[in-house]
């Protein structure tokens, strides 16, 4: 692009602007001089609102196109075609072989002509294609190349991509008419589906990863100058082929071994060539991945406001979730609540309503709804890393009850004094997720832009032959980091445990004492740790967390379990964060939120202990779905121990309390209660938040580690109508009340849609981000639906 106009002369219709938006062409970081060009372009763009708007549009369309294209059916070569290639590879001395597809009719000239109309449909009926791809994938699983075998390293992106001289036609002249793919019988007969290889694969995973003791291990400083060539061709020691694909389709899906063994059989179940079949399109091939069109047509899904990383609250999937019932304060005076509730319930509800349906009651989880929104809590004062705010009023749906709103707020991040970060990103995406890979890449680029020069980043691919893409490299060497991100591939068949071990080993090796040491694990919905490794995975994460290396898990795509507890392989990472993102914009937002400021823990080993005063409280209940680690347990063992609170995070819980009969607390004015030391006999409850100062690094020996501290709050009983409560309180009550209505909860008392709507309206507050207004809209929609009225789908804009 020699004669391209200078950025100052760009118009929204300049092709250069598209290149800039896509970070490609002259703005490809691997092209010399890109940094200057980019700087000039950024200046020009900063001055021009139309250019900025155009860039947003270009990226949006690019995302959509990419997403849609990624949903196209994935095809694989049939087993006998592959075997024919491999047979030829064993003895390629002779001329090129005839193709193995048998039974074809001759006459090349007429073959193609007839074929396209007679035989095919390019995307071949999505469902069939998907089934085919999947079954072939399953069949091939067991034939995955032995991890321990050496093979030459080949890498791409050196830029030397000249057209091969040999890329000429010669062999097509006598080509017979292409035929349908081979029969399933031949697929299952195929000799290379061999058990021994599978054993090798599964038996010696560490070979694929290199042993942690033999990591290349250059120091962050020395790797700051890693060149592109090094990046592209640095397989792990002991690792086999490092064939960096330009694309990402290796295997269809990682499967459990049982499924793998069933592979050939399931291949047989899907005849692979059905020339005349109507293109029955099934969702399997087009996993309603992102709602690309929806985000264009309906609205961009607002992402979770502020805080909550999502973890904890294990919940059986697809089972009825029960609300926690009332407990007697006499027998169960203590409770706790999770610091990091999930955040998926609200988007699920929104999606259902947008489709004109009421959400399934199981999708409605009170604690998640509540914590989808942020509330205004005072920042902690003094040396406390966490503040607590409690507000009590009469329950809007059972005026004899109290509704207690508890909010914890962690100290906001101090960006200036942020400690050095040592990040290791492990990418384990399945093949066929090119769009997701590209979301991840884009989000990682944004992350890189936010890193300090002192920070370091490493990139690993978790695949059948896990590869180190970028050794820990100082962020000052941005070009290397960006090249590394671009070299990421979805190689398929992520191994989970080995990958994570490897990532932890790298993080350990470059551990920054007192810094932020974190592994970021990017997976998609097709990942599933092998059953036998789950325990080990859990142990590993726990050990490393104790060791001061934290984990963030980022699930991409709508098939990703919205919560860690729903991914059976995913042990709840104490002290880590789990986030899922169903759309590209959500992915970026989640990564931005989770990673960009790299939330440093302001408190560790945080425990929440709510004690009810049996003299004032007859029964209580936490407004939440039941969980295994339920607060319903009478005496919760160290509640949510090990959880950390990251800078700026907040969490909100609501308790409904049945006061003892004699209790008729003093009338009180409006406003949340100030918090004082606990222990008054007239208190309704006391709240104790225990924590330790973060070590953000390796724990010192126990004698030297920071002493446990705690924040104690006594909450006096007051009688106050909910009408007099703060806007935040009303809004929180509206949100939970909304959940109760959607669930048709037995605990909803005299709650009505109208009351929910009034609470929501009165609780709007400043609503700077517009989330509360959207909620109000959802209340109206749900109300209309439940009232049996016909709700028009929100028209596409």
Partner 1 sequence: MNPSSTSNQTNERVEWVRASMERHEAELLRYALSLVGDLPSAEDLVQDAFFKLCKQEPESLRGRLVPWLFTVVRNQALDRHRRESRWPRAAEAEASQVAGNSPTPSASAQARDDVRNLMSLLTALPPNQREVVRLKFQNQLSYREISHLTRLSETNVGFLLHTALKTLRQRFERLDAGPGFSQARSPLHPSSPQ
Nearer to partner 1, 91 or 276 (CB): 91
Contact range with partner 1 by CB under 8 A, out of 73-81, 681-689, 703-711, 768-776: 73-81
Q: What phi and psi values does residue 657 have, to the nearest 5 degrees?
A: -125, 135
Residue 338 CA to residue 346 CA, distance in Å, equals 17
Contact range with partner 1 by CB under 8 A, out of 280-288, 527-535, 575-583, 734-742: 280-288
CB of 168 to partner 1, least distance (A): 6
Mapping DSSP to helix (H, G, I), strand (E, B) and coil, where does residue 13 land? coil
Nearer to partner 1, 249 or 337 (CB): 249
Give the footprint of partner 1 on residues 441-470 (CB under 8 A).
465
Q: Among residues 246, 318, 703, 789, which is the contact residue for partner 1, using CB under 8 A?
A: 246
Nearer to partner 1, 124 or 602 (CB): 124
Give the footprint of partner 1 on residues 402-431 (CB under 8 A).
431
Give the footprint of partner 1 on residues 178-207 (CB under 8 A).
178-181
Element (H, E) at 28: none
CB 272 within 8 A of CB 181: yes
Nearer to partner 1, 170 or 637 (CB): 170
Rounded to an integer, what is the distance from CA 499 to the centroid of its chain? Answer: 17
In the block, which residue shows the tokens 């989770």?
Answer: 594
Q: Does 358 bind partner 1 (CB under 8 A)?
A: no
Residue 555 CA to residue 451 CA, distance in Å, equals 22
Residue 751 CA to residue 757 CA, distance in Å, equals 11
Sign of the Cα torsion 224, 226, 232, 238 reads negative
Contacts of 400 (CB under 8 A, 6+ apart): 394, 658, 659
Binding mask 724-753 for partner 1 (x = CB under 8 A): ------------------------------
Residue 510 CA to residue 457 CA, distance in Å, equals 10
Element (H, E) at 140: helix 126-141
Angle at 740 between CA 739 and CA 746, to 5 degrees: 155
CB 605 within 8 A of CB 336: no
Nearer to partner 1, 148 or 660 (CB): 148
Nearer to partner 1, 580 or 625 (CB): 580
Nearer to partner 1, 4 or 211 (CB): 4
Binding mask 114-153 for partner 1 (x = CB under 8 A): -xxx-xxxxxx-x------x------x---xxx--xxxxx
Nearer to partner 1, 508 or 586 (CB): 586
Nearer to partner 1, 292 or 474 (CB): 292
Q: Does 797 bind partner 1 (CB under 8 A)?
A: yes
Task: Name the nearest CA neighbour of 398 among 188, 658, 633, 587.
Answer: 658
Contact range with partner 1 by CB under 8 A, out of 289-297, 302-310, 575-583, 633-641: 289-297
Give the footprint of partner 1 on residues 479-538 (CB under 8 A).
486, 491
Give helix 727-743 / helix 753-762 axis angle, nearest 10°.
Answer: 150
Distance of CA 180 to CAs 77, 100, 105, 124, 235, Å? 11, 11, 11, 12, 38
CB 551 within 8 A of CB 573: yes
Nearer to partner 1, 287 or 571 (CB): 287
Nearer to partner 1, 483 or 748 (CB): 483
Give the footprint of partner 1 on residues 5-34 (CB under 8 A).
13-19, 22, 24-26, 28, 30-31
In the block, which residue shows the tokens 């490493």?
Answer: 458
Q: Among residues 11, 158, 320, 721, which is the contact residue for partner 1, using CB under 8 A?
A: 158
Count of Cβ atoms closer than 10 Å to residue 441 Cβ: 18
Contact range with partner 1 by CB under 8 A, out of 80-88, 198-206, 410-418, 757-765: 80-88
Binding mask 585-624 for partner 1 (x = CB under 8 A): ----------------------------------------
CB of 268 to partner 1, least distance (A): 19
Q: Does 247 bind partner 1 (CB under 8 A)?
A: yes
Residue 339 exposure: Cα atoms within 13 Å on the Cβ side: 33
Nearer to partner 1, 88 or 753 (CB): 88
CB of 271 to partner 1, least distance (A): 13
Contact range with partner 1 by CB under 8 A, out of 60-68, 494-502, 619-627, 675-683: 60-68
Q: What phi and psi values does residue 176 have, to the nearest 5 degrees?
A: -80, 170
Residue 223 CA to residue 227 CA, distance in Å, equals 9
Q: Among residues 38, 156, 238, 709, which is the contact residue for partner 1, using CB under 8 A?
A: 156
Give the footprint of partner 1 on residues 81-120 (CB under 8 A).
81-82, 84-86, 88-92, 96-97, 99-101, 108-109, 112-113, 115-117, 119-120
Number of residues forming the site for partner 1 (CB under 8 A): 136
Task: Name the nearest CA neighbour of 310 among 656, 660, 623, 590.
Answer: 590
Distance of CA 297 to CAs 50, 292, 294, 656, Å? 22, 9, 5, 40
């Amino acid at each position: 692009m020699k004669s391209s106009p200078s950025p100052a002369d760009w118009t929204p219709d300049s092709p250069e602007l598209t290149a800039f938006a896509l970070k490609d062409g002259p703005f490809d970081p691997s092209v010399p001089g890109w940094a200057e060009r980019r700087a000039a372009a950024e200046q020009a763009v900063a001055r021009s609102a139309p250019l900025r708007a155009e860039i947003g549009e270009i990226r949006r369309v690019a995302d959509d196109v990419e997403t849609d294209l990624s949903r196209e059916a994935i095809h694989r070569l049939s087993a006998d075609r592959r075997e024919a290639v491999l047979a030829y590879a064993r003895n390629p001395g002779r001329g090129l072989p005839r193709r193995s597809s048998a039974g074809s009719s001759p006459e090349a000239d007429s073959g193609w002509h007839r074929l396209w109309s007679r035989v095919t449909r390019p995307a071949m009926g999505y469902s069939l294609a998907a089934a085919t791809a999947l079954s072939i994938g399953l069949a091939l699983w067991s034939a995955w190349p032995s991890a321990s075998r050496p093979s030459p390293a080949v890498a791409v992106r050196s830029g030397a991509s000249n057209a091969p001289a040999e890329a000429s036609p010669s062999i097509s002249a006598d080509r017979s008419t292409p035929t349908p793919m081979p029969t399933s019988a031949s697929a299952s007969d195929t000799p290379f589906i061999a058990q021994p290889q599978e054993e090798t694969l599964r038996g010696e995973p560490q070979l694929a990863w290199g042993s942690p003791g033999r990591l290349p291990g250059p120091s962050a400083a020395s790797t700051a100058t890693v060149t592109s060539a090094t990046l592209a061709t640095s397989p792990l020691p002991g690792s086999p082929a490092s064939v960096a694909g330009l694309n990402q389709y290796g295997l269809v899906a990682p499967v459990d071994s049982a499924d793998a063994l069933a592979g050939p059989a399931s291949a047989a179940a899907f005849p692979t060539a059905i020339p005349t079949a109507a293109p029955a399109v099934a969702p399997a091939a087009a996993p309603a991945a992102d709602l690309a069109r929806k985000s264009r047509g309906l609205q961009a899904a607002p992402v979770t406001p502020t805080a909550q990383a999502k973890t904890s609250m294990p919940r059986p999937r697809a089972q009825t979730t029960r609300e926690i019932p009332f407990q007697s304060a006499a027998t169960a005076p203590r409770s706790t609540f999770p610091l990091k509730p999930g955040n998926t319930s609200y988007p699920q509800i929104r999606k259902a309503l947008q489709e004109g349906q009421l959400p399934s009651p199981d999708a409605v989880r009170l604690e998640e709804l509540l914590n989808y929104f942020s509330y205004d809590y005072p920042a902690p004062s003094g040396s406390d890393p966490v503040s607590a705010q409690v507000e009590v009023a009469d329950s809007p749906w059972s005026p004899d009850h109290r509704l207690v709103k508890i909010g914890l707020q962690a100290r906001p991040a101090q960006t200036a004094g942020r400690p050095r970060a040592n990040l290791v990103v492990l990418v384990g995406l399945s093949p066929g997720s090119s769009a997701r890979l590209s979301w991840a890449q884009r989000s990682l680029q944004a992350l890189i832009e936010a890193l300090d020069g002192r920070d370091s980043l490493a990139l690993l691919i978790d695949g059948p032959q896990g590869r180190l893409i970028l050794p820990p490299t100082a962020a000052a060497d941005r070009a290397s980091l960006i090249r590394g991100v671009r070299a990421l591939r979805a190689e398929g068949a992520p191994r989970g445990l080995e990958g994570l071990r490897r990532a932890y080993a790298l993080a350990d090796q470059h551990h920054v004492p007192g810094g932020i040491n974190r592994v970021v694990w990017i997976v998609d919905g097709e990942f599933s740790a092998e059953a036998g490794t789950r325990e080990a995975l859990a142990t590993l994460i726990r050990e490393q967390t104790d060791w001061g290396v934290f984990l963030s898990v980022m699930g991409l795509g709508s098939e990703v379990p919205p919560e860690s507890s729903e991914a059976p392989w995913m042990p709840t990472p104490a002290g880590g964060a789990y986030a899922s993102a169903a759309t590209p914009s959500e992915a970026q937002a989640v990564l931005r939120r989770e990673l960009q400021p790299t939330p440093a823990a302001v408190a560790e080993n945080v425990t929440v202990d709510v004690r009810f005063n049996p003299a004032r409280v007859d029964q209580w209940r936490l407004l939440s779905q039941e969980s295994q680690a339920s607060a319903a347990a009478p005496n919760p063992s160290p509640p949510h121990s090990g959880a950390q609170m990251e800078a700026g995070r907040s969490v909100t819980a609501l308790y409904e309390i049945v006061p003892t009969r004699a209790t008729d607390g003093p009338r009180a004015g409006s406003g949340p209660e100030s918090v004082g030391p606990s222990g008054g006999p007239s208190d309704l409850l006391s709240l104790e938040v225990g924590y330790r100062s973060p070590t953000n690094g390796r724990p010192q020996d126990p004698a030297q580690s920071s002493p446990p501290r705690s924040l104690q709050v006594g909450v006096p009983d007051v009688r106050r109508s909910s009408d007099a409560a703060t806007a935040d309180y009303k809004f929180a009550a509206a949100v939970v009340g909304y959940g109760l209505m959607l669930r048709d909860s037995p605990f909803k008392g005299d709650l009505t849609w109208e009351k929910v709507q009034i609470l929501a309206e009165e609780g709007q507050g400043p609503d700077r981000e517009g989330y509360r207004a959207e909620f109000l809209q959802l209340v109206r929609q749900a109300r209309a639906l439940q009232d049996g009225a016909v709700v028009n789908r929100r028209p596409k804009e």
